[in-house]
Amino acid sequence: MTEIAQIQLLVSKGVETTVNTITAASENFLSQQDLTAVGGPGTRAGIQLLTKNEVDQLGPLSEFERSVVRHVVNTRNIYPYAVVLPEDPTSVLYLAKSDLIDDTLSDEHVITGTAFPEGLPRIEAYLTRFRTLLEHKTRERGERRPWWTLHRPRANVVGDATPDDTGWSRYCLTTRWGGGGRLVVGIAPPRTSPASGLHVLRLGRPDIPAAYLCALYNSTLYQEIAESLPPGQLRQQDLDRIGLPDLGHEADSVVRHALELAQIVTELVTVHVPRWPLLADVLREDVSLPNLPDDSWIAPVGPATSWGTVSGLNWASRTGRRRAGTTKLGAVTVEHDLYGLSVTAAARGQNYPAVRFSVAGEELEVAQALAARIRGIAVVGGSVADVEQLRLPIAATSLMTLYAQHRSSLAALAGQYRAKRSAIDETLDKALANNTA
């Protein structure tokens, strides 16, 4: 039996910042001019964490400055194979303490006398507004570091902001670390900074992309190993015990499939999650994606010339309502009753209809599309009033066709996802079998 060579795994916590935003107490450390410049009292302007609008207000940034402004990755951004950021992510000013600080200098000299990094004029001008506050917080925490640095940047694991040869960051992120849930690992876009609640996974081999690690941890074999551990108790020693086999020339195939899966997941999240409100949770709950939540649907509203409120449609007349206003929706069903083919929605926690629509012509596919759309309202916490304000196509066939198109598109992409993941499983199983024969 041949022993399989292992690749070292490097693990770190995410980035910890010191002073994220201005508070009522910290406003006293700013001059009136600087406080006014960042929005005035009570605005809670960002210091180390900035909104997209605050980043835009910094003005045109150089390439070096853009590498310092990194998008923050939170738990909700992590999916199997890929980290997918929102359109307006929060950013962190990522400045690490230099390793070249003279040990003979006093703490006070290090805090106040260390020069700001060169080439960052707009970043320096912005942080200088908060210098008195940042110096105070650095002393208060007993830190021996310049006033402008992050508290814990994890620079040795997160590394610089440049992508690897695949275009992604050189590390993976996972959300599971003693808090329950599944082992979900995704590679991150470049110019990102993982939040402190996440854990950063990095290979000890710089010649192998992070996508390799991502592929193995999301494979069926590794998912089953992780599931054999006590729920919510995955620790670093458990990851080390699982190991990372060096698959040699087979690694290229594994990486290629993982990168394709990262693109597929990005499309699933950006295009299909807005249509299918349960899809994000389903992806995280079982990375094999065995089932699709395609019976709860949110359709984009079309033009006023061809779309109208549900109360004005001639193909779905409301035939009953017992509750109104902010009553939350519960189960939505399609059924034949005294009114013919109907779509009914119960109030949450009740078994009788809160609202009922009779579908003209008893078109089952139309009724199913309408039910899916109302379930979409229900799963995001919508009410009976939201149903009554719902806008739908004036032509029933348009709703049916749009629903069918969205379902077909989701199913096709999910099929690609499963096929690529199966290819990784087959490659991994074959390589391990050959190396242990």
Query: 3-class DSSP state for residue 133?
Result: helix
pLDDT of 238 reads 72
CA–CA gap between residue 420 and residue 437 (Å, rounded): 26
Report yes or no: 356 and 343 within 8 Å, Cβ to Cβ.
yes
Report yes or no: 278 and 379 within 8 Å, Cβ to Cβ.
yes
Name the percent of the chain lying above pLDDT 90: 60
Residue 214: pLDDT band with limits 50, 70, 90: very high
Going from the C-alpha of 190 to that of each of 60, 267, 312, the distances in angstroms are: 20, 18, 49
409-433: average pLDDT: 94
Which tokens hold the place of 190? 């470049």
For 232-285, the pLDDT digits (tens) are 556 667 777 777 888 888 899 999 999 999 999 999 999 999 999 999 999 998
Residues in the chain: 437
**Cα 234 from chain centroid (whole Å):** 21
Report yes or no: 21 and 49 within 8 Å, Cβ to Cβ.
yes
4-25: average pLDDT: 88
Strands 69-73 and 192-194: parallel
For 338-391, the pLDDT digits (tens) are 768 889 888 887 777 788 888 888 789 999 999 999 999 999 999 888 888 899
Which tokens hold the place of 95? 């400045």
CA–CA gap between residue 344 and residue 318 (Å, rounded): 10
Query: 3-class DSSP state for residue 137?
Result: helix
pLDDT of 319 reads 66
Q: Which of 180, 194, 196, 378 is nearest to 285 (CA)?
A: 180
Q: Strand 316-321's sheet: what is its strand order?
A: 316-321, 353-359, 340-347, 329-337
Residue 317: pLDDT band with limits 50, 70, 90: confident
pTM: 0.90
Which tokens hold the place of 173? 């992120």
Better-scored residue on pLDDT, 437 or 369: 369
Strands 329-337 and 340-347: antiparallel
CA–CA gap between residue 361 and residue 342 (Å, rounded): 11
Query: 3-class DSSP state for residue 335?
Result: strand
Q: Strand 49-50's sheet: what is its strand order?
A: 49-50, 91-93, 69-73, 192-194
Residue 53: pLDDT band with limits 50, 70, 90: very high
pLDDT at 1 over 80: no
Q: Where are the alpha helices (DSSP H) in 272-321?
A: 279-285
User: Which stretch of DSSP H or E encloses residue 336?
Assistant: strand 329-337
User: Which stretch of DSSP H or E encloses residue 331?
Assistant: strand 329-337
pLDDT at 179 over 50: no
For 118-177, the pLDDT digits (tens) are 999 999 999 999 999 999 999 999 999 999 998 888 887 788 888 999 999 999 998 855
Query: 3-class DSSP state for residue 393?
Result: strand
64-81: average pLDDT: 94
310-326: average pLDDT: 72
For 270-299, the pLDDT digits (tens) are 999 999 999 999 999 899 999 999 999 999
21-34: average pLDDT: 92
Better-scored residue on pLDDT, 6 or 325: 6
Q: Which of 189, 187, 190, 186 is nearest to 162 (CA)?
A: 190
Report yes or no: 212 and 427 within 8 Å, Cβ to Cβ.
no
For 291, residues 6+ apart whose C-beta sits below 8 A from its C-beta are 282
Report yes or no: 342 and 359 within 8 Å, Cβ to Cβ.
yes
For 90, residues 6+ apart whose C-beta sits below 8 A from its C-beta are 49, 50, 51, 52, 71, 72
